[in-house]
Amino acid sequence: VERALTSHEAVWEAAVIGADDDEGLIKPFAFVVTNVGQESGPKLEAELRDFVKNVLAPYKYPRWIEFVESLPRGPGGKLLRYKLRTPKQKRRRAETGHNEPVK
C-alpha cells in the first residue's frame, strides 16, 4: 500500500499501519507526506483512495488518510512506525493516561 501511495505524483512518502474499524477489523490507515506545494485535503484524500484501488486489489485501499508534515524517523533515518498513532489510538491513550511519563 505504501508503494502504491508513493507512486502517486502528489505523494512524497507514506507509511501505513493497521487500525481497528467500527466492526473491530484491522484496516489500513495511511500517513502521507505530500510533495512541496501540493495541497492536501478531502479532494486529494479521495483521489489517493481511488488511485490505490486501481493499482492494488480494491480491498487494500487505506480507509483513513492523515496528512502529516513528516514521518517519525530515528537517527539512522529508519521509520519509527511505533510512533505513528491513529486519532482513535491517541484518544484512547489520553483517556487512560498511558501517555504520561513514568515517575
CATH number at residue 53: 3.30.300.30
What value does the mean pLDDT of the chain take?
Answer: 88
> Residue 102: what pLDDT?
38
Confidence tier at 93 by pLDDT (50, 70, 90): low
Residues 62, 93: Cα–Cα separation, whole Å: 23
Contact status, residue 52 vs residue 60, Cβ threshold 8 Å:
yes
35 pLDDT above the threshold of 70: yes
> Residue 99: what pLDDT?
45
> Residue 100: what pLDDT?
44
Contact status, residue 71 vs residue 83, Cβ threshold 8 Å:
no
Domain count, the chain: 1
Question: What pTM did the predictor assign?
Answer: 0.82
CA dihedral 58, 62, 64, 65 (to 10 degrees): -130
Q: Is residue 72 part of a domain?
A: yes
Q: Is residue 103 part of a domain?
A: no
Residues 74, 93: Cα–Cα separation, whole Å: 22
Percent of the chain with pLDDT over 90: 74
